Amino acid sequence: MNYDQSPVIQGNEPGNFSAGYPGVRAHNKSTRPMNANALSGPGIRIPPPLFYLVALVMGMALDHFWPLSCFAGSSRYIVGSVVIVVSVLIMPPVLLSFRRAATPFDVRKAASALITDGPYKFSRNPTYLSLTLLYLGLGVVLDSGWVLILVIPVILLVDLWVVRKEERHLEASFGEQYLRYKATVRRWL
């Protein structure tokens, strides 16, 4: 994702992507040193939601052949639904931050701005946090122990194959500003 801990660019300063959007910390990449990694993007080929979808399908298939129930009674519907609602509520502020900063939401494209407002004040990866909560909520509602167990490899894969590549890209694109942000906000929670 895209983040930074430096001051907000205000008004009509050159390179200001956030003009007209108070409180958005957006920084134009053109004011930062560039290298090949910064220009080409993070090098992510598989959209991260596919990791979660594949694991969900695998968990449901395993559950079909070897059922592994975790929750008794109907409370799973309430608990799972609450987790799903929380996951869905995270996304509108994330998407709004990307829109205001005029930077691509698609992680396969190069970032043009760093975002530190909204959910990014609490997590460097609120989108993956949202996807993980959605996945867990579905696992609870479906009462599938396999789905819940498979969240561990999904998180590891997303962390190693997506988040770390994004971090290298952001460091190459935004340098010290990204490193300051990275030092003050946790990767997940």
Kindly report which listed range (32-46, 118-132, 160-174) carries the lowest average pLDDT score: 32-46
Which residue is associated with the tokens 């639904």? 81
pLDDT one-digit tens code per residue, 94-125: 999 999 999 999 999 999 999 998 999 999 99
Q: pTM to 2 decimals?
A: 0.80
Nearest Cα to Cα of residue 107 among 86, 130, 128: 128
**Count of Cβ atoms closer than 10 Å to residue 75 Cβ:** 10
What is the predicted pLDDT for the residue at 28? Answer: 47
CA 159 → CA 8, 71, 82, 138, 186, distances in Å?
A: 28, 28, 25, 21, 13
Spatial separation of the C-alpha atoms in residues 134 and 141, rounded to whole Å: 11
pLDDT for position 134: 98
pLDDT in tens, 148-158: 999 999 999 99
- The domain made up of 29-184 is a member of CATH 1.20.120.1630: yes
Say what the pLDDT of residue 17 is.
38
- Of 97, 153, 154, 149, give the one whose Cα is nearest residue 122: 97
The string of pLDDT tens digits covering residues 56-101 is 999 999 999 999 999 888 999 999 999 999 999 999 999 999 999 9
Tokens standing for residue 8: 């907000």
The answer to whether 108 and 41 have CB atoms below 8 angstroms apart is: yes
Task: Scan for tokens 């939401």, then name that residue.
Answer: 105
Q: Are 148 and 136 in contact (CB under 8 A)?
A: yes
Where exactly are the structural domains of the chain? 29-184
pLDDT at 39 (0 to 100): 58
6-41 pLDDT, tens per residue?
333 333 333 333 333 334 444 444 444 445 545 578
pLDDT of residue 32: 46
